[in-house]
Structure 1
Amino acid sequence: MKALVLAGGSGSRMRPITHSFAKQLVPVANKPVLFYGLEAIRNAGIREVGIVVGATEPEIRDAVGDGSRFGLEVTYLRQDAPRGLAHAVLIAREYLGDDDFVMYLGDNFIVGGIDDLVDRFRRERPHAQILLTKVADPRPFGVAELDADGRVVRLEEKPERPRSDLALVGVYLFGPAVHEAVAALRPSRRNELEITDAVQWLIDRGHRVESTLVSGYWKDTGNVADMLEVNRLVLEGLEPSVDGEVDEASELIGRVEVGPGARVLGSRVVGPVVLGPGSLVRDSYVGPFTSIDRDCAVIGSEIEYSIVLRGARIDGVGRIESSLIGREARVVPAPRVPNAHRLVLGDHSRVQISR
């Protein structure tokens, strides 16, 4: 069995961060979200991985390399533009051959990995196996409709009027029959080749499609709110460690990881918090569920429930929360200006100004 990891896409919902940064490399607890997926694939016993890349290919290649650091053999497959999930399968046809494969969206996060899913697929041998989860608003997702016996009968991509609350999770398992399905597709109303249409093609022709309801935690980390929530979840399992400097005027409470070369001076840090190598926290408060990447500085400020990327500096700005601060960003106080009002008033106007 092989894996096909999708790491293209523009990351439009994560802008402006993704104007200069691949969305799959945004860190969760100071580790790119893509790495969690690669580790899950490795832990499921899969070694050969094709990574579908687009405009951010150089960044993905630089971060992942040949895959050996993960115990994987990585091949890069270039997609000229985001043309749908099924298009990724189409361009990977030669690489995949007639092998079974897992398709894993590189910006998805699944607690507990995919071991059980892969084991079930190998044991039961369906033509396709999909993951489903109940969501409050299924309209932004692919949506599945099941019959009375729990079999998948219909799939629809981003429907205006969903037939169920069961959304497709970004992990799929396929046998080689999916290649015939993908080759038969035509672009959808979104001008993409939809993987939901490929699975529907299999269903319509009597191929066996199984589904699994995800009982654990899954997130599509496509926006800032979801990134912060996944960061919170990962930090819940943080093991405290101090490999840097914490002076006597500072206080660490709960699960706090201080990386090598990091310094905490005259500050209070309430975990779970991870402070990356070479970073500085001085005269500040860092609150729960905050990840601060390497070579950052937080000075004379408060920050909580946030992600701070490599090399950012937060200096003298009071309190920040529920935020994502990009690489090398600077957050500093605005210059003070006199309090004044500028008015253009018509004849006989009456204006009341609070003092």
Structure 2
Amino acid sequence: MKALVLAGGSGTRLRPITHTSAKQLVPVANKPVLFYGLEAIAAAGVREIGIVVGSTHAEIEAAVGDGSRFGVEVTYLRQEAPLGLAHAVLIAREFLGEDDFVMYLGDNFIVGGINGVIERFVRDRPAAQIMLTQVANPSQFGVAELDGDGRVVALEEKPRRPKSDLALVGVYLFTSAVHEAVGELKPSWRHELEITDAIQWLIDHDHRVESSVISGYWKDTGNVADMLEVNRLVLESVETRIEGSVDAASELIGRVVVEPGAVIERSRIVGPAIVGGGASIRDSYVGPFTSIAADCVVAGSEIEYSIVLPRASITGVRRIESSLIGHDVVVTPAPSMPRAHRLVLGDHSQVQISS
């Protein structure tokens, strides 16, 4: 079996962060989301992975390399534009050959890995196997309609009027039968080749499509709220590890990770939290569920339930929470007079100001 990992999306829901960074490389607990997926695939015994990349290919290729750090062999497949999940299968045809494969969306996060679903697929070998979960906003996902016996009878991508609340989780398993289905597709109303249409083609042509409704944790980390929630979940499982410098005037409470080269001075950190290598925390409070990345500075400030990306600086700010702060961002207080906010914001930014 092979794996096809999709990492070519533009990440419009995470702008402006994704104007300068691949959405699959935005970190949770100081590790890119994409890496969690690659680790799950490797843990399931899959060794050949094709990664579909787009305009951010250089950044992703630099981060992942040849795959040896994950114990896999990686082949990069260029997609000229994000033209749909089925289009990714189309351009990967030569890489996939006649092998069965698992397709994994690179910005998805699934607790518990995918070993069980792959074992079931290998045992039963349907033409396609999908994972479903109940969601509150099905119109934002591919949606499955089941009959009274729980069989998949229809699929629709981001329907305006969903027929169920069962969304497709970003993990699909296929035999080579899917290639015929993909070859028959026409672009949808979204001008994309939809994987839901390919699976529907298999159903309509009497191929067996299996599904399972998962009750465990799954997130499509496409927006800030979901990123923060996944960060919280991952930090829940960290164990205390102090490899940087913590002075006697500082207090660490609960499970806190201080990576090599980090310096904590006259500060209070309440875990679970992680402070990346080379970061400096001075005269500050870092609250639970916060990830401070490498080479950041937090001085005379308070921050909680947030993700701070590398080399950001937060100085003299009274309180920050529920925030995603990008690479090399500088956050400082405004002058006391005149009382005004001074903002330099990229396109699609969101700001909440306490007045």
TM normalised by structure 1 equals 0.95
Distance in structure 1 (CA, Å) of the matches to 2:139 and 2:81: 24
2:295 counterpart residue number: 295
- The secondary structure found in structure 2 opposite 1:52 is strand
1:343 counterpart residue number: none
Larger Rg, first or second structure (1 or 2): 1
- Displacement after TM superposition at 1:167 (Å): 0.3
* AA of the residue aligned to 2:176: P
Deviations 1:51-84 (A, max 9, x none): 0000000000000000001000000000000000
1:170 counterpart residue number: 170
1:353 counterpart residue number: none
* AA of the residue aligned to 2:300: G
2:229 counterpart residue number: 229
1:150 counterpart residue number: 150
- Displacement after TM superposition at 1:339 (Å): 5.7
Q: Which runs of 5+ in 1 are unaligned?
A: 341-355
Alignment of 1:307-326 (within 5 A): 307-326=307-326
TM normalised by structure 2 equals 0.95
Q: Which runs of 5+ in 2 are unaligned?
A: 341-355
1:338 counterpart residue number: 338
1:121 counterpart residue number: 121
Distance in structure 2 (CA, Å) of the matches to 1:84 and 1:246: 48
1:277 counterpart residue number: 277
* AA of the residue aligned to 1:318: R
Deviations 1:200-224 (A, max 9, x none): 0000000000001111100000001
- The secondary structure found in structure 1 opposite 2:162 is coil
**Residues 339, 171 of structure 1: CA spacing in aligned structure 2 closer, same or farther, 3 A cutoff?**
closer
Work out the number of aligned pairs and report it. 340
- The secondary structure found in structure 2 opposite 1:317 is coil
Aligned identity (percent) is: 74
Alignment of 1:83-102 (within 5 A): 83-102=83-102
Cα RMSD between the aligned structures?
0.8
* AA of the residue aligned to 1:220: D
Distance in structure 1 (CA, Å) of the matches to 2:91 and 2:213: 29
Distance in structure 2 (CA, Å) of the matches to 1:27 and 1:34: 9
- The secondary structure found in structure 1 opposite 2:102 is strand
1:138 matches 2:130: no
- Displacement after TM superposition at 1:9 (Å): 1.1
- Displacement after TM superposition at 1:317 (Å): 1.0
- The secondary structure found in structure 2 opposite 1:318 is coil
* AA of the residue aligned to 1:22: A
Distance in structure 2 (CA, Å) of the matches to 1:216 and 1:9: 25
Deviations 1:19-51 (A, max 9, x none): 010000000100000000000000000000000
Distance in structure 2 (CA, Å) of the matches to 1:233 and 1:21: 23
Distance in structure 1 (CA, Å) of the matches to 2:177 and 2:125: 12
- The secondary structure found in structure 2 opposite 1:40 is helix
Distance in structure 1 (CA, Å) of the matches to 2:136 and 2:56: 32
* AA of the residue aligned to 1:42: A
Deviations 1:113-163 (A, max 9, x none): 000000000000100000000011211000000011110000001111111
Deviations 1:326-354 (A, max 9, x none): 111100111232369xxxxxxxxxxxxxx
